[in-house]
Chains A and B, each alone.
Chain A
Amino acid sequence: MSNALPAWSALSPALLLGLTGLALLLVDTIRPNERSNTSMALVSALGALASLSVTVWFVVAGTGHADTGGAITLLEGAVKVDTLALFFTAIFASVTALVVVAAHDYFHDHANPAAFYSLTLFAATGMALLAVANSLAVVFVALEMVSLPSYALVAFLKKDRGSVEAGLKYFLVGALSSAVFLFGISLVYAATGSLIFGEVASGIESLGSLAGVAGIGIVMIVGGVAFKTASVPFHFWAPEAYEGAPAPVSAFLSSASKAAGFVVAFRVFTEAFPLGASLAAGIDWALAFAVVAAVTMTLGNFAAAVQEEVKRMLAYSSIGHAGYALIGLAALSSGSAGNEAVMGAAMAHLLVYGFMNTGAFLFVALAERWGIGRTFEDYAGLARRAPVACTAMAVFMFSLAGLPPFAGFFSKYFLFMGAIENGFLWLAGLGAVNSVISLYYYSRVVRAMFLDDPATPSALDAIDVRPTALYAAVVFAAVATVLLLPGFGPVIEAAEAAAAALF
């Protein structure tokens, strides 16, 4: 298939996202009076879905797969399309589609929603570029391409102090971590003499006296990854940003943007700094990730357990989940046959997480749209007024907690099993303990919605609107979360194939 098409067409998922964003911007600029929220949302959703369909088609057709001629490299090797890139692009496109559909109802009375749609699509384009980046320079540019629209999106409600404050915090921490990341790249370049991953890897093998420089550079890159994935020690922007941002933006950041951080991490650390060569040079980044993963999941879960606001709880839970996904890097061991399994499981977890976490934040968006409060108590008795949406939310909560009937159980199970097979029993054990703790705070939401009585009989009267598009997005995410359980086979196969190409 890909032989018939020109090589650049392998980038079409990213191009489709970018072109849609440009088209929206163009309409907004030329005919500002003609724009309508509905048509904007529709065009964005269609663009994201088109990108998703092309990606899925590529995966099915085997583009970039070893069986069909291997990865497609473009632009002097700076860009590489392989199964890993396509897998993550599918996550980005799905989350983007869900978010723009939900945003249609969320921003129903906003003066200028067009900016939201184009910013979201540009950020998604940046993510798709991150997935295919094969050079540290491209990684940095794409990372900024994700970050800059994200700052604006977080501060999108410019009359809301929380939103603006969150945007500023996010921007300051983001700018700092970008600087750290860039400095790390320059150190690695100084030590190895290249920015292309493959050449960096061979440079690592012959570092000589420059091992220290490269080591510091790698540690700084770990820091940049920690920022993007909202992991300790660069996590503290996340609760503020997720809480202050409009809920669809929180959904987008905590699912897609986090996954974008992981695709960078997975690719850079396996292809540019292979574990064997790094260890030989005295740089044990797997250990660094093990520590980060352990601290991140524990801190995220304990902090989530003491929150009073649902959105903030979800923000901390999303930090906890970053910790689980980091196991995919932390539990690697040089030359082990189990590496593919554990990294594939981490990728599958990110895909499942993309649906269940996006869905949970979109439910919060629904609650914000209804105008009920933000705390657990404000959700009391909600199931009586909105049984379908609450059932969907219960699915997300139980799935995030990793209860068996839902896909979240499957992906965590594979992740922990992979870690154990690779000899990281302690990490898997810690993850399991954390999962049990998480059940406490996730079930609080379910308890409030289904078991508790509303504070006052009139507390839920505000729910007089039926935002169809938001409902549809939430329900679709719930259905996907359930169906990914029986349909987990192809997902994990694709993920393991993608991971296998990295080692």
Chain B
Amino acid sequence: MILEALIGFTFLAALLVLLAPNAWAGRLAFALSTVPFVGSLYLWSRFDAVGNALTGGTIAFESRYEWVEVGGRTVSWFVGLDGISLPLVVLTTFLVPLAILSAWTPVDTRQSQFYGLMLFMEANLLGVFTALDFFLWFVFWEAVLVPMYFLIGVWGGPRRKYAAIKFFVYTNAASLLMFIGFMSLTFALGDSIGSLALPEITQAIADGGLETWFGLSPGRIAMVAFLATFAGFAVKVPIVPFHTWLPDAHVEAPTPVSVLLAGVLLKMGTYALLRFNFTMLPEQASALAVPIAAIAVISVIYGAMLALAQKDLKRIVAYSSVSSMGYVILGLVVFTEYGVGGATFQMVAHGLISGLMFMAVGVVYNATHTRMVGDMAGMADRMPVTVGILVAGAFGYMGLPLMAGFAGEFFIFVGAFGAPSLPYAPVFTALAMFGIVIVAGYLLSAMQKTLFGPFRLETDYEIGRAPFHDVAPLAVLLAAIVVLGVAPDLFFEMIRDAAMPVVEGVSVDV
């Protein structure tokens, strides 16, 4: 019941904030959004799952009610957590209050609607990470898009309409492709499944339940489903060449929305890849390991190169997300304990770090009203605290030891280098590592130009101290990044426990 309470409370909070007057909607939203965070900490403290939820492990906080039946298959309200989903739930509930705080300064119209939509999105995100029934999961998955569309389209920058519609169309088309792919899988499973529960489907596929359907042999069906779902999720992650919606959406979105977009929404894609493609169809994943690893490495390098070419600070951070997500894909595809575990850990780490970067850039923008690298210099003089945290965040991005990003990338590289199931694993890993050099290159150069040297600003704004509620979330995020970097086992232990069955699923075949 506790998960229902968590999601239900967040929905209720969204409704309350929606009806609140604009004047104090922000404060109310922040106060209400701390409750799910406390709730998720409680979940963490009482967490008792063993293994992976999809491969027959013990599911924590499991709850299941039958909803409807379609074509002999029950659709249920089926939620629960395991070591992969709990960290993402904590990440979501942690980032939302901070994102709401960071919205106090920039959002100055229709506040109650803005904060209401933020909380509505949080509720659906929690649903995505907890749902264990395909249908329920898909409802939440799609429901995330609607608030995002409005958040970008109403409160965004000058080209917000274009960005909002591009985001909506891209991700919706991807969802449809993924939906069709997955549905063909369930049809091919025939009578071997009685519901759309993910554990049952995973089990049925592992037991060889796939039958010939629509003239396609079981192997073909699985491959078609793998490709369709992979392409669908690849848009969300995003992986090159499906990444073009991302910079537009990020640049136009207001800061707090960017924080959630980079921090949590991108993780929906990698989470779904891990759950569906790599856990349910490990055979296909390892058969396609080389091409997937190749596009992962291309995402890392190409994303970083794109970031190198940008002049807009927000675009730099946006493109570097493409690069970081490439690491996650590489970690997933190698199918080793540290690879899959590290990829999951990196999801959380990148969520925190990219959230921090977007927020810090947002604070600078609030003061200067520009994000162009050439428009400012020497910001360190005027905004020492903000700049200090921004620099720290950038080093986190580059993988400075004792910060969360280092732990995540280190695990991935350790896992990837000696991966037995991926041919040429050392080559791929070495190429991907080269991405870090480029990251360091563009981040250092951008910071050098904007933050240090003599002060210069092209726009006519007085730079004062950033308000406390702008800086406080930065400090909190930085603290979290350091804590997670020093003690990765806070999450990594449970992640590893849930990742091991996934890895074993493939090592049997190799």
Contact = CB atoms under 8 A, between A and B. Distances in A.
Interface of A: 338, 341, 384, 387, 398, 403-405, 409-410, 413-414, 417-418, 420-421, 425, 432, 436, 439, 443, 447, 450-452, 485-486, 488-489, 492-493
Contacts of B142: 403-405, 409
B427 interface: no
B449 interface: no
B143 A405 contact: yes
Given A404-B142, A404-B143, A447-B153, A432 B67 contact: no
B468 interface: no
Given A439-B172, A447-B161, 5 more contacts: A409-B139, A447-B153, A452-B161, A488-B68, A492-B70
Given A387-B113, A450-B154, A341 B168 contact: no
B160 A425 contact: no
Interface in B187-225: 187, 214
B113 A403 contact: no
B168 A405 contact: no
B139 A451 contact: no
A489 B68 contact: yes
Contact of A398 (B146, B154, B164): B146
B165 to A, nearest CB: 7
A447 B70 contact: no
Nearest to B156: A451
Interface string B71-89: 1000000000000000000
A418 B138 CA distance: 19
A420 B188 CA distance: 12
B67 A489 contact: yes
A131 to B, nearest CB: 24
A398 B145 CA distance: 11
Nearest to A492: B68
A443 B165 contact: yes
Contacts of B165: 443, 447
B164 A451 contact: yes
Interface in B400-431: none
Contacts of B183: 417
B44 interface: no
Nearest to A444: B165
Contacts of A418: 71
Contact of B71 (A384, A410, A421, A425): A421
A57 to B, nearest CB: 23
Given A450-B150, A451-B161, A443 B71 contact: no
A133 B345 CA distance: 64
16 contacts: A341-B71, A384-B110, A404-B142, A405-B124, A418-B71, A421-B71, A432-B176, A436-B176, A443-B165, A450-B153, A451-B154, A451-B164, A485-B139, A488-B67, A489-B68, A489-B69
Interface string B158-171: 00110011001000
Contacts of B138: 404
A447 B146 CA distance: 12
A417 B70 contact: yes
B173 interface: yes
Contacts, number: 62
B115 interface: no
B141 interface: yes
Nearest to B173: A436
A485 B139 CA distance: 10
A485 B138 CA distance: 13
Contacts of B168: 443
Nearest to B110: A384
B214 A425 contact: yes
A489 B77 CA distance: 12
Contact of B187 (A384, A420, A488): A420
Interface residues of B, number: 30
Nearest to B160: A451
A158 B135 CA distance: 50
B436 interface: no
Given A420-B187, A432-B180, A414 B70 contact: yes
Nearest to A410: B68
Contacts of B68: 410, 488-489, 492-493
Interface string B98-112: 000000000000100
A452 B165 CA distance: 12
Contacts of A384: 110
A265 to B, nearest CB: 23
A398 B160 CA distance: 20
A105 B214 CA distance: 54
A488 to B, nearest CB: 5
Nearest to A489: B68
A250 B420 CA distance: 66
Interface in B25-72: 67-71
A404 B145 CA distance: 10
Most chain B CB inside 10 Å of its own CB: which residue of A414, A417, A485, A486: A417
Interface in B175-191: 176, 180, 183, 187
Nearest to A338: B71
Nearest to B161: A451
Contacts of A486: 67
Most chain A CB inside 10 Å of its own CB: which residue of B70, B124, B150: B70
B118 to A, nearest CB: 16
A186 B161 CA distance: 58
Nearest to B175: A404
In the complex, the 8 A-B pairs of residues with the closest C-beta atoms, listed nearest first: A404-B142, A405-B143, A489-B68, A451-B153, A404-B139, A421-B71, A451-B161, A488-B68
Nearest to A486: B67
Contacts of A450: 150, 153-154
A444 to B, nearest CB: 10
A493 B71 CA distance: 12
Interface in B362-382: none
A403 B149 CA distance: 13
A241 B132 CA distance: 47
Interface in B340-368: none
Contacts of A403: 142, 145-146
Contacts of B143: 404-405
Most chain B CB inside 10 Å of its own CB: which residue of A341, A405, A443: A405
A418 B69 CA distance: 12
A418 to B, nearest CB: 7
A130 to B, nearest CB: 28
Contacts of A488: 67-68
Contacts of B161: 447, 451-452
Contacts of A447: 153, 161, 165
Contacts of A405: 124, 139, 142-143, 146
B180 A417 contact: no
A338 B71 CA distance: 8
Nearest to B73: A417
Interface string B281-298: 000000000000000000
A387 B138 CA distance: 28
A451 B145 CA distance: 15
Contacts of B141: 404
A452 B161 CA distance: 8
Nearest to A490: B68
Contacts of B154: 450-451
A363 to B, nearest CB: 18
A165 to B, nearest CB: 36
A413 B196 CA distance: 14
A417 B183 CA distance: 9
A244 B433 CA distance: 66
A405 B127 CA distance: 12
A431 to B, nearest CB: 12
A421 B172 CA distance: 25
Contacts of A489: 67-69
B257 to A, nearest CB: 14
Contacts of B110: 384
B115 to A, nearest CB: 14
